[in-house]
Amino acid sequence: MAVLNDKILVNDWHVVGHVSALDATEIMSVRVLGIDVVVWRTGDGCVLAWKDLCIHRGVRLSLGEIQNENSLMCPYHGWTYNAEGRCISIPAHPDQQPPEKARVEAYHAKVERDLIWVCLGTPPDYTAPFPEWDDQTYRRILCGPYVFKAHGPRIVENFLDVGHFPFVHENTLGTRERPEIAPYEVVTDAEGVTASQIRIFQPNPDGTGIGKEVEYTYRVFRPLTAYFRKEATTQGFAIMLMVTPVEETISHAWMWMLMNHSYDVPEQELRAFQDHVAGEDIPIVESQRPELLPLDLQAELHLRSDKTAIAYRKWLRELGLTFGTA
Q: What is the pLDDT of residues 256-272, one digit of tens each?
A: 999 998 899 999 999 99
The tens digit of pLDDT for each residue in 89-100 reads 999 999 999 999
284-323 confidence digits (pLDDT tens): 999 999 999 999 999 999 999 999 999 999 999 999 999 9
Statement: residue 233 has pLDDT above 80 = no
From CA 74, how far away is CA 304, in angstroms rounded?
57
Confidence of residue 3 (pLDDT cuts 50, 70, 90): low
Residue 88 reports pLDDT greater than 50: yes
Strand ranges, E, within the chain: 14-18, 27-32, 35-41, 47-51, 65-67, 71-73, 80-82, 87-89, 106-112, 115-119, 139-148, 185-189, 192-202, 212-222, 225-232, 235-247, 250-259
Q: How many whole angstroms separate alpha carbon 150 and alpha carbon 283?
A: 10
**Mean pLDDT score, 135-159:** 97
Q: Which DSSP state fits 191?
A: T
Report the interhelical angle of 152-160 vs 267-287 (nearest 10°): 120
CA distances in angstroms from 240 to 106, 140, 218, 250, listed in the order given: 28, 11, 10, 20
pLDDT grade, residue 217 (50/70/90)? Answer: very high
Average pLDDT of the residues in 243-253: 96
Query: For the CA atoms of the chain, what is the radius of gyration?
Result: 22
H-helix or E-strand spanning residue 318: helix 307-319
pLDDT of residue 63 exceeding 50: yes
Instruction: State the Cα–Cα distance between residues 312 and 161, nearest whole angstrom.
Output: 11
Among 10-19, 155-164, 175-184, 225-234, name the one with the lowest average pLDDT.
225-234
For residue 1, what pLDDT band results from cuts at 50, 70 and 90? very low
Amino acid at 126: Y
Distance CA 15, CA 36 (A): 14
109-131 average pLDDT score: 95
Query: What's this model's pTM, rounded to 2 decimal places?
Result: 0.94
Share of the chain above pLDDT 70, in %: 98
Whole-angstrom distance, CA of residue 230 vs CA of residue 239? 9
| Domains of the chain, start order | 3-119 (2.102.10.10), 131-319 (3.90.380.10)
Q: Using CA atoms, how far apart are residues 219 and 159, in angstroms rounded to an integer? A: 11
Q: Which residues contact 73 (CB under 8 A, 6 or more apart)?
A: 64, 65, 66, 67, 79, 80, 81, 89
CA–CA separation, 169 and 19 (whole Å): 31
Check: CB of residue 175 under 8 Å from CB of residue 273. Answer: no
Categorize the per-residue pLDDT at 2 as very low, low, confident or very high, splitting at 50, 70 and 90: very low
pLDDT at 234 over 90: no
How far apart CA 29 and CA 117 sit, in angstroms, is: 13
Sheet holding 65-67, edge to edge: 65-67, 71-73, 80-82, 87-89
